[in-house]
Structure 1
């Protein structure tokens, strides 16, 4: 059994924020970058976001391009990747768009959170308990057993931090937007943590691409 390849995908401001403090999602990317993200979604077996991102952004997390969806079907895949979320509490709103678009949905939670998540969602998603606490390595093992070869992680900061602290990220795709958020309490790409190798560990920079006014950096943390 092989764990999926883990790609962390994030858009950040020049000062490292992924959003501002307003109730609405702050647009950091542009149309070219959104299309590139859509292509990466189409190449993935599953897309993962944390429960807080599901609540805050109310995303659909779909492959938007009809041509890309058709190519997936022609290759013997389902139209959309599996949608995955992670929650300790299991407290999830069944009316959010995440549950009512696309195909298969998975919820990874704790033993105690499983009861709450199942009661909240009914048959909208498969709920998987990972024990008394969520271990992201166990989550990847389960996805591997389900045949997922490539996992795209789209946030938020707590989830990205967890994968990086555990040394489980194979690649980071960072789109840097030409703006400054400057709000100290706004969410960042990663939270403080103990990361493998500490500050002395330098990632391998594989590529830099210009998409309109956005710079896309591809890092490989394990090299």
Structure 2
């Protein structure tokens, strides 16, 4: 278990550098599939599959182009994802380029409530857990031999997390959720790109998880992101957004 190096000197939103002598932060892509009314899932035990097979393949390609994939602990506990690249050809391309066959699997937990039996910690690829001082005490040596545990201090600071990933050589980070993690990246202005897959489904259940939680987002409702691209993937619309400088809406 180790503590991450000290806080960088982070600049403006979207800056790729954290200051003199500090490795460049990775390019951050938030990847999410939502219902038409903004839900990540319904409230049933079985996971609601919002994407179709073609969209799952698109997500697999984004994973293959990433150095690391990050999900929150709540998503691990709820969905138990493997965070693997499904397509053998894509894994082979990575290996031929001298890269690890699988991206680094990253999770974040403030509490340290993680089961070492989760599939993300199975052999085959490296795993990294960012946590707090309290979470580190809770974890103890529970993940020894399964994941490296990095303590960020009394609370999770996503800027510090990106600084540490940059020092590890991660240049592209894919963030797959859940809602609290997506909210944290957007609220801290740390997302470079948002890939939003919108499924033709209505959930409407207040007990179901939503894409974003209430937060003080930079610029508030007057700040607009740039719509870079729109793709039709079967019955799913994939919107690619990138942040741009604050620009108030005018009549």
User: What is the TM-score when the length of structure 2 is the normalising length?
Assistant: 0.87
Residue pair 1:91, 1:120 contacting (<8 A) in 2 also: no
Question: Is 1:141–2:141 an aligned residue pair?
Answer: no
Question: Is 1:63–2:85 an aligned residue pair?
Answer: yes
Q: Deviation of residue 118 (structure 1)?
A: 3.4
CA deviations on 1:78-130 (whole Å, 9 max, x unpaired) are 10000000000111101111110531100000012112223322221000000
Residue pair 1:206, 1:219 contacting (<8 A) in 2 also: yes
Q: Based on CA coordinates, which of the two structures has the bigger radius of gyration?
A: 2
Residue pair 2:182, 2:211 contacting (<8 A) in 1 also: yes
Question: Is 1:155–2:177 an aligned residue pair?
Answer: yes
Q: Deviation of residue 25 (structure 1)?
A: 1.2
Larger CA deviation: 77-86 vs 118-127: 118-127
Q: Deviation of residue 202 (structure 1)?
A: 0.6
For residues 70-109 of structure 1, the aligned pairs below 5 Å read 70-109=92-131
Question: Is 1:14–2:32 an aligned residue pair?
Answer: no
Q: Which one of 58, 79, 91 corresponds to residue 36 of structure 1? A: 58
Task: Provide structure 1 residue ranges, at least 5 long, that are not aligned to the other structure.
Answer: none
Q: Which one of 53, 63, 76 corresponds to residue 54 of structure 1? A: 76
Q: Which one of 193, 197, 214 corresponds to residue 175 of structure 1? A: 197
Corresponding residue SS for 2:28: strand
Question: Is 1:120–2:142 an aligned residue pair?
Answer: yes
Q: Distance in 2 between matches of 1:93 and 1:2?
A: 32
Task: Provide structure 2 residue ranges, at least 5 long, that are not aligned to the other structure.
Answer: 1-22, 246-251
Structure having the higher helix fraction is: 1
Residue pair 1:62, 1:102 contacting (<8 A) in 2 also: no
Q: Deviation of residue 191 (structure 1)?
A: 0.3
Q: Distance in 1 between matches of 2:217 and 2:128?
A: 27
Residue pair 1:118, 1:127 contacting (<8 A) in 2 also: no
Q: Distance in 2 between matches of 1:221 and 1:101?
A: 37
Corresponding residue SS for 1:208: strand
Q: Distance in 2 between matches of 1:102 and 1:186?
A: 32
CA deviations on 1:137-184 (whole Å, 9 max, x unpaired) are 000000000000000000000000000000000000000000100101
Q: Deviation of residue 192 (structure 1)?
A: 0.5
Residue pair 2:224, 2:244 contacting (<8 A) in 1 also: no
CA deviations on 1:31-54 (whole Å, 9 max, x unpaired) are 010000000000000000000000
**Alignment RMSD (CA, Å):** 0.9
Residue pair 1:90, 1:109 contacting (<8 A) in 2 also: yes
Corresponding residue SS for 2:196: strand
CA deviations on 1:18-68 (whole Å, 9 max, x unpaired) are 000011211000001000000000000000000000000010000110000
